[in-house]
Amino acid sequence: MRIDAITTFPRMYDSVMQDSIMKRAQEFGLLEFHAHDLRDWTHDRHRTTDDDPYGGGQGLLMTCPPIFEAYDAVASEGAKPHVVFLAPTGVPFAQEVAQRLSTKDRLMFICGHYEGIDERAYALADECISLGDYVLTSGELASMVVIDAVVRLIPGVLGDDMSAVDESFGDDGLLEYPQYTRPASYRGMDVPPVLLSGDHGKVAAWRREQALLRTARLRPDLLESAALTERERAFLLSLHDVDVPDAR
């Protein structure tokens, strides 16, 4: 996969893209990442990318000519990219969005800054994504979150492909079960005996039950679309502190 970011602050990506999983993905040839400085497509000596909004108002807006010129230049370097803007008007970001984006051959993130972006620039967008109902200083931070969630789903990036499936918000829609490692006992807190039993069937059953319990108590909204068997639904209904939605 190739990912391009059009940004006024390309160095913001350095620490994220040059460490850990993102670095390994690039070293293995699974990811090609480029951060492009939007100022390279400006034509004044101050390399201006923003201006006052028509009609007045607070703050500055990113002007659209550099964004269109940057898109034209970068998009021409290969296959047509799937263009993503990070904006409050976008669809809420969730695991299924990350999974869908991970199947694309090429992504381009156009990052806003200042008060916002000239509305005409959104003509370039294939989709807009919102991380949530809050305001960030820049689209760069939001794009890094999306990039991280997407890249780790590319086959081969995590080494063990199942590690991207058997976790929270995976295919079954549940939160992940609790996990433990050595030591078996620490400050009076013990690892559940079933995990030390060596019985893989019992371990799998315990993990599924714990995932159900954790989801029901911490994120019951996820049960609306979770893949539950009738037996699992009956198990949850037997709990007095859990409200289980009707089967669909």
Residue set of the binding site for S-adenosyl-L-methionine = 112, 131-136
Angstrom distance (rounded) from CA 116 to CA 247: 43
- Residue 50, strand partner residues: 62
Angstrom distance (rounded) from CA 142 to CA 136: 8
Provide the annotated binding site. 112, 131-136
Write b or e for each residue in 91-103: b if 16 or more Cβ atoms lie within 10 A of its Cβ, otherwise e: eebeeebbbebbe
Output the DSSP codes for 193-241: GGGGS--HHHHHHHHHHHHHHHHHHH-GGGGGT----HHHHHHHHT-TT
Angle at 89 between CA 109 and CA 57, to 5 degrees: 100
Angstrom distance (rounded) from CA 18 to CA 132: 26
